[in-house]
């Protein structure tokens, strides 16, 4: 099963793809989309094109994204909600369901600590996937953490059945 994880951002958007075979997890790819100063709608057009290409080229089975959390900056929360909506619409348009996980669930799944910082998440992801390259960005590692969280939650659901 190939799982794509997404770390939403309006300036930097993280993409991470892993493969799950039985209980084994394998790193497939990760990327950060860095949007230059441009109109929000132009950013979302680029995001739709990129995600559609990934869905077409990589035979993604399942998708997951980091869900929002209540913050102090309502404007930022509003913008990120729109980004999540674009991802949801693109996934559904490509016949993929999108699962949402809280930042705390994601952090616990890769570090065991719901309050882990970005560096701890990055190290946890690298350890779980055997990634030696330390040049992986935080948004990439966050997206990979989302994919890993989904694979672990799916496994947990399968074991309960």
Question: Tell me: the pLDDT tens digits for 19-44?
Answer: 999 889 999 999 999 998 899 999 99
Residue 30's DSSP bridge partners are 16
Q: Is the pLDDT of residue 1 over 80?
A: yes
Which range marks the domain in which residue 120 is found? 2-160
Question: Tell me: the pLDDT tens digits for 32-76?
Answer: 999 988 999 999 999 999 999 999 999 999 999 999 776 667 888
CATH of the domain at 151: 3.30.420.10
Which residues are tagged catalytic?
A: 7, 66, 139
What is the DSSP secondary structure assignment for residue 160, as one 8-state letter?
H
Looking at every residue in the chain, the average pLDDT score rounds to: 91
Best CA proximity match to 3, nearest among 31, 27, 32 = 27
Question: Tell me: the pLDDT tens digits for 95-123?
Answer: 999 999 999 999 999 999 999 999 999 99
Q: What per-residue string of b and e applies to 72-88 under the rule 16 or more CB within 10 Å gives b? A: eeeeeeebbeebbebbb
Tell me how far apart the alpha carbons of residues 49 and 56 are, in angstroms, rounded to a whole number: 11
pLDDT band at 161 (very low <50, low <70, confident <90, very high): very low
Amino acid 157: pLDDT: 53
- Number of separate helices (H) and strands (E) present in the chain: 5, 5
Amino acid 160: pLDDT: 47
Structural domain total, the chain: 1
């Amino acid at each position: 099963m190939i799982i794509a994880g997404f770390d939403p951002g309006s300036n930097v958007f993280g993409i991470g793809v892993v493969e799950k075979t039985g209980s084994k997890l394998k790193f497939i790819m990760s990327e950060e989309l860095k949007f230059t100063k441009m109109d929000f709608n132009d950013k979302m057009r680029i995001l739709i094109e990129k995600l559609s290409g990934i869905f077409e080229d990589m035979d993604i089975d399942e998708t997951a994204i980091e869900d929002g959390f209540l913050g102090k900056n309502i404007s930022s929360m509003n913008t990120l909600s729109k980004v999540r909506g674009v991802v949801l619409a693109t996934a559904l348009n490509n016949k993929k369901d999108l699962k949402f996980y809280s930042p705390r669930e994601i952090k616990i799944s890769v570090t065991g600590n719901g309050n882990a910082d970005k560096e701890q998440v990055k190290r946890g992801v690298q350890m779980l996937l055997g990634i030696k390259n330390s040049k992986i960005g935080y948004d990439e590692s966050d997206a990979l953490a989302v994919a890993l969280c989904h694979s672990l939650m799916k496994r947990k659901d399968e074991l309960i059945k």
